[in-house]
Amino acid sequence: MDDDHARASAGTTGDARCGTNGGRFGRGVIRARRRARRGHGSDALALAPTTTLSDVFRTYAIDAHVSARSLNACEDPPARYPPTCVDAERSATATRDFKAMSSREHQDAMATMMRSQPMVLKRTGVLGDVSSKYVADRFQGLEQTWDFERVASALGASEWECLMCPSSKHKFLVCDASKNAHGSYYHIREPEVETMRCKFEDFVQCARNWREKSILFDAEIFTAKTIVNAEDIADPPPKSDFDQRCPDDFIKNVCSGIDWGWFNRFTRAQRFGQLLSMRLVAGQRDSLNPARYYLEESIHLQVNGRRRILLIPPKHSFGGMYPYPVAHPYDGYSMVDLDDVDYGQTPAFTSVRGLSFVLEPGDFLYIPRGWWRHEQGLSKEHIHLDFRLLHGKRPRARDMAILPVSRSIEERLAVAEGIHQIKHWLKVIAEAEDANWIDLSTVKGHKRIKMTQMVRDEVDLNLGRGSWQAFLRTMIDGRLDPTPWLNISFREPLYLTDKPVHVADTRNELEKEFPEFYVAKLKKEGYAVDYTPVSVFNPTHPETIASVPKA
């Protein structure tokens, strides 16, 4: 029996037998049927050498992510931020394997996110999971089905706005055109990023073939049209809220390629509010979305390719990140160029510390509102979905109120006193110099006194009693001034020169009297000029005199 068991385990077909290691039928050897040993019937297939499930999954995974496999073998582009601003220990503890977590570790991860701390969850299966032992439990989602070609096929001929920038910088710093009026206080004369409407298929061709310019696809594909309670959130979201340009095939892919049941159970457990919007972002290797913040909760699902992302807590907003003013065209971005930090201009950046993650296909990233995000593409082609959600009934951390409070104060002062006076009045309020600048005998003075007190009360109410002076001083430090360095490389067009150019008059007496001779001279020098048509005969013209025969 031992010899038979050995032959069965070795996969022999002459006298194939199967061994059992206990269970319902005890221990022993099961002989193959005679018909199967002869190679006939369906029973013969059971004796054929089989491939283990792990080998099947490994082959499938490699075929599905060829680009990820090839890029993992080569060196990633260097990080586009100073290495000193990364807290490596905290970054490591903020990455969890969802399937490998114990019940206690799962509760700890959920509690960490409830305290508005970022977290990366790997192997959640929200974008697909084909590693299950049973075929019925496998789920092919966007992670297994989406790449540039398939997204282009699903989006069809619909046109979307793409961002373009010079390849030398490869940085997409988007300018808000509504705040960039000519002659405004923070006017940017030549924004580096341009927009272009094109199909996703055209975007793919440009991304693969352009050398002088870089391109990024960043489009909002879903926007909630009505506000609903968290308990009434649809599973999946309603098709009517998708952008009208999204074809039915694309909407079907999004609705069936994401495990919306798992996603909504997570958002309910975390007490998030409604899903506000969904963005589809696709880019290239080393493309950079520089540090910026949003006031909504965010969840990133990495669909294809790899990205590196640096997250900086909101407590550093006025302690090193130097956010652009609310009225600035670059509102929402940091004034610090993390590619090349100028510590002389932004000295407080030395104290900034954040978390760094590398996202791979299938990864789930939670970004709390107010956190700065600095995103860099690592793969030749990468795709991710960005979900924005309401804060809901979650506890509010005090640091998260820093940016909303500062924005509210700047907007209030801009309406009352003008954009160019925001810094002056913040100084007056911060140093308690109200009596020196306000005439209480006038109506305007009375309004200003109320305004200054409202600013102090708003800071104390949201950030703690007695914190108004220190906070207002940090708001002023290094901010709220014009930004001339953004226009330092501006090239003035010829028709918009700052002052007129005077050209010396080199005409002789004949050319002054008869301009056509001067026109002929300019033509010989290469100028694109033409003769002025003359319909009146001039008998004294030199050419006329020369053509008259002598008597």
Query: SS3 string of 282-331?
Result: EEECCCEEEEECCCCEEEEEEEECCEEEEEECHHHHHHHHCECCCCCCCC
Question: Which of 18-32, 365-379, 523-537 shows the lowest mean pLDDT across its residues?
Answer: 18-32
**230: phi then psi, degrees, rounded to nearest 5:** -60, -30
96: which DSSP letter? E
Question: Which of 49-53, 275-279, 439-443, 477-481 shows the lowest mean pLDDT across its residues?
Answer: 49-53
Dihedral over Cα of 193, 197, 200, 206: its sign: negative
For tokens 């699903």, the residue is: 154
For 214, the 3-state DSSP assignment is: strand
| Bridge pairing between strands 213-223 and 288-292 | unpaired
Question: CA 51: distance to chain centroid?
Answer: 42
Mean pLDDT in residue range 72-91:
86
Mean pLDDT in residue range 56-84:
61
Q: Is the pLDDT of residue 79 over 90?
A: yes
With beta carbons less than 8 A apart as the criterion, state whether 288 and 376 touch. Answer: yes
532: which DSSP letter? P
With beta carbons less than 8 A apart as the criterion, state whether 233 and 264 touch. Answer: yes
Q: Is the pLDDT of residue 109 over 80?
A: yes
Q: What is the pLDDT of residue 512?
A: 84
Q: Is the pLDDT of residue 204 over 60?
A: yes
CA distances from 260 to 5, 113, 126, 256, 347 (A): 48, 19, 7, 8, 45
For 117, the 3-state DSSP assignment is: coil
Q: Residues of CATH 2.60.120.10 domain(s) within the chain?
A: 84-149+218-395
Mean pLDDT in residue range 378-393:
94
What is the enclosing helix (H) or strand (E) of 23? Answer: none
For 78, the 3-state DSSP assignment is: coil
Share of the chain above pLDDT 70, in %: 79
What is the enclosing helix (H) or strand (E) of 475? Answer: helix 468-476
CA distances from 95 to 98, 103, 313, 363 (A): 9, 16, 17, 10
Instruction: Count CA atoms closer than 13 A to 41's CA, side-chain side.
Output: 8
d(CA 325, CA 475): 10
Among residues 377, 381, 358, 364, the alpha carbon closest in space to that of 304 is found at 381
492: exposed, middle or buried (C-beta count within 10 Å: 0-12, 13-18, 19+)?
Answer: exposed
d(CA 344, CA 497): 33
For tokens 């002062």, the residue is: 413
Mean pLDDT of the chain: 84
Share of the chain above pLDDT 90, in %: 63
Q: Is the pLDDT of residue 21 over 50?
A: no
CA distances from 470 to 345, 384, 429 (A): 21, 39, 11
Q: What is the pLDDT of residue 490?
A: 66
Q: Which amino acid is at 530?
A: D
Q: What is the pLDDT of residue 232?
A: 66
In sequence order, the 6+-apart residues with CB closer than 8 A to the CB of 380 are 67, 71, 284, 285, 305
Per-residue confidence band for 293, with pLDDT thresholds at 50, 70 and 90: very high
Token representation of residue 72: 């993992």
Per-residue confidence band for 55, with pLDDT thresholds at 50, 70 and 90: very low
Per-residue confidence band for 235, with pLDDT thresholds at 50, 70 and 90: confident
Per-residue confidence band for 534, with pLDDT thresholds at 50, 70 and 90: low
**31: phi then psi, degrees, rounded to nearest 5:** -80, 140
Question: What are the pLDDT digits (tens) for 296-346?
Answer: 999 999 999 999 999 999 999 999 999 999 999 999 999 999 999 999 999
With beta carbons less than 8 A apart as the criterion, state whether 60 and 130 touch. Answer: yes
Q: For the stretch 69-89, what's the b/e string if a residue is b when 16 or more beta carbons lie within 10 angstroms of its beta carbon?
A: eebeeeebeebbbbeebbeee
DSSP lists the bridge partners of residue 500 as: none
Q: 84-149+218-395, superfamily in CATH?
A: Jelly Rolls (2.60.120.10)
Question: Which of 33-47, 76-90, 120-134, 170-184 shows the lowest mean pLDDT across its residues?
Answer: 33-47
With beta carbons less than 8 A apart as the criterion, state whether 378 and 358 touch. Answer: yes
Whats the size of the chain, residue-wise? 551
d(CA 513, CA 526): 22
Mean pLDDT in residue range 492-517:
70
Q: Is the pLDDT of residue 106 over 50?
A: yes
Q: Helices 443-463 and 402-417 sit at what angle, rounded to 10 degrees?
A: 170
Q: Is the pLDDT of residue 467 over 80?
A: yes
Q: Which amino acid is at 523?
A: K
Q: What is the pLDDT of residue 545?
A: 54
Q: What is the pLDDT of residue 231?
A: 67
| Bridge pairing between strands 288-292 and 372-377 | antiparallel
